[in-house]
C-alpha cells in the first residue's frame, strides 16, 4: 500500500515561533515508516515582523498557498505591537476566518504522577463573538465611549457544539479501547453567560443544546455552567470535566487558564479546525523575553502536530507522538526552564525523536 503524502505549510511567525515550528517538522519526518506517511513542506510568512517588512501581517500568497497547495499547516506565534499600529491585525485570527476554521480545539491533560488528574478538551468557537473586531470610539459630553459588537450566530453555535459532541464520542471510544482516563462516560459542558446576555449567549446555549440533542449524541451527557462559575470549578475540580464548549472569548480565557493546571502554556496544544483543513498551533505566545536563547519549550508545538494528524484521521501516528512526549515528561530528566528544568529546546526535541 502506497504511503500517504501530506503537504504541510509551516508558518513560524515571530519570536520563539521560529524556534519551535522546526520541531514539528522534525517530528513528522521522524515518524517510522510503519506509519505509512510522507510529508512535504512549504515555508510561509505571517506575523508582526512580516508586517513591518511588507505592510501585510498575512500576505495573500500565504493564504492562497494554504488553500491551493496544502493539506494542513503548523502556526507558531505572533507578536503584538505595544502601541496602536495602523493597518495591523492578528494574522491567526484572519486565517481562521479566511479558511473557515470554525473550531479551536485545546486538549489539556496531565501526565501520570503529576499530581491532580486533568484530562479535558476545551472546544472554542473560532470565528465570531467579540473577535469579529467591529469596534468604534466616539465622543459624548461625558468623554469618550468605546463599543464592540458581540456576534453569535445559530449556524456557528450549531457547528461548534456538534464538534464538541463528536470529540466526546471519540474520546469515549479511545477509553473503551483501553486508553487511560479519569472519565467513565462522555460529557459536554456548555459554557455561557445567558443569565446576563440573554440574546447572544442565550442563542449559543439554546443552539448547543439543540445540536447535542440529536440521536447520534444520545449517550453523551450534557450540562451547563455559567462562565464565572466555570472558571471557579475548573480550578477547584478539573477532574469533573470532559469536553467544554464555549463561545470565542470564554473559550480563549478558559483554555489559557486551564494550562496552569498542567504546569505551563508550553505544554498545551491546539488545532484550528474547519471542513477539510486544520492548523496545529501551540497555545503560547511569541515570548520575546526568551527569544534566541534556545530554551523555548517545543512540546506544545509537538503535541499540536499530533493533534493536526488526529484531524487527518491518522490516529495511530498521533498516538505515537503523544506517547513519546508523555514518556519525556514522566521521566522528567529533560525539561525546559518553564517546567523547572535546565534542558534546551534541542535536547527536548532530540529526546522525543529518540522515543519515537
Does the residue 136 lie in any domain?
no
Cβ neighbours, 10 Å, residue 52: 13
Is residue 179's pLDDT more than 70?
no
pTM summary value: 0.88
User: What total number of domains does the chain contain?
Assistant: 1
Alpha helices (runs of H) in 220-331, residue ranges in sequence order: 227-236, 248-259, 299-310, 315-331
pLDDT at 180: 64
For the domain that residue 11 is a member of, what is the CATH number?
Answer: 3.40.718.10
The answer to whether position 208 is within a domain reads no
pLDDT average, residue stretch 81-107: 90
What does DSSP say about strands 271-273 and 278-280: parallel, antiparallel, or unpaired?
antiparallel
pLDDT band at 114 (very low <50, low <70, confident <90, very high): low
- Among residues 240, 279, 281, the alpha carbon closest in space to that of 258 is found at 240
Q: Determine, yes or no, domain membership for 50.
A: yes
CA distance 290 to 282: 16
Assigned domain for 192 exists: no
Q: Is residue 94 part of a domain?
A: yes
pLDDT digits (tens, 9 = 90+) for 193-238: 999 999 999 999 999 999 999 999 999 999 999 999 999 999 999 9
Tell me how far the alpha carbon of residue 14 is from its chain's centroid. 18
Q: Which domain holds residue 22?
A: 1-101+274-356
User: Would residue 163 count as lying in a domain?
Assistant: no
Q: Is the pLDDT of residue 113 over 60?
A: no
pLDDT digits (tens, 9 = 90+) for 274-306: 988 999 999 888 999 999 999 999 999 999 999
Mean residue pLDDT of the chain comes to 92
**Buried residues in 250-276 as b, exposed as e (16+ CB within 10 A):** bbbbbbbebbebbbbbbbbbbbbbbee
Amino acid at each position: 500500500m502506497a504511503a500517504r503524502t501530506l503537504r504541510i505549510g509551516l508558518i513560524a511567525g515571530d519570536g520563539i515561533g521560529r524556534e519551535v515550528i522546526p520541531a514539528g517538522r522534525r517530528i513528522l519526518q521522524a515518524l517510522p515508516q510503519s506509519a505509512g506517511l510522507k510529508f512535504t513542506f512549504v515555508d510561509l510568512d505571517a506575523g508582526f515582523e512580516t508586517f513591518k517588512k511588507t505592510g501585510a501581517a498575512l500576505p495573500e500568497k500565504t493564504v492562497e498557498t494554504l488553500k491551493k497547495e496544502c493539506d494542513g499547516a503548523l502556526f507558531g506565534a505572533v507578536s503584538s505591537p505595544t502601541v496602536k499600529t495602523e493597518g495591523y491585525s492578528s494574522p491567526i485570527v484572519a486565517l481562521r476566518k479566511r479558511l473557515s476554521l470554525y473550531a479551536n480545539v485545546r486538549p489539556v491533560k496531565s501526565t501520570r504522577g503529576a499530581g491532580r488528574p486533568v484530562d479535558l478538551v476545551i472546544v472554542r468557537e473560532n470565528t465570531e463573538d467579540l473577535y469579529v473586531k467591529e469596534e468604534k470610539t466616539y465622543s459624548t459630553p461625558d468623554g469618550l465611549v468605546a463599543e464592540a459588537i458581540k456576534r453569535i450566530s445559530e449556524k456557528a453555535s450549531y457547528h461548534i457544539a456538534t464538534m464538541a459532541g463528536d470529540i466526546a464520542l471519540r474520546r469515549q471510544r479511545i477509553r473503551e479501547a483501553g486508553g487511560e482516563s479519569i472519565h467513565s462516560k462522555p460529557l459536554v459542558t456548555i459554557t455561557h453567560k445567558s443569565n446576563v446576555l440573554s440574546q447572544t449567549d442565550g442563542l449559543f446555549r439554546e443552539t448547543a443544546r439543540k445540536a447535542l440533542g440529536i440521536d447520534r449524541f444520545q449517550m453523551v451527557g450534557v450540562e451547563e455552567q455559567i462562565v464565572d462559575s466555570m472558571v471557579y470549578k475548573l480550578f477547584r475540580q478539573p477532574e469533573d470535566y470532559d469536553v467544554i464548549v464555549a463561545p470565542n472569548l470564554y473559550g480563549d480565557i478558559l483554555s489559557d487558564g486551564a494550562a496552569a493546571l498542567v504546569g505551563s502554556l508550553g505544554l498545551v496544544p491546539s488545532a484550528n479546525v474547519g471542513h477539510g483543513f486544520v492548523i496545529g498551533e501551540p497555545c503560547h505566545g511569541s515570548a520575546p523575553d526568551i527569544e534566541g536563547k534556545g530554551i523555548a519549550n517545543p512540546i506544545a508545538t509537538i503535541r499540536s502536530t499530533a493533534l493536526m494528524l488526529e484531524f487527518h484521521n491518522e490516529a495511530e501516528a498521533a498516538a505515537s507522538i503523544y506517547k513519546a512526549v508523555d514518556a519525556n515528561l514522566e521521566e522528567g530528566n529533560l525539561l525546559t526552564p518553564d517546567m523547572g528544568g535546565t534542558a534546551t529546546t534541542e535536547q527536548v526535541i532530540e529526546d522525543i525523536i529518540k522515543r519515537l
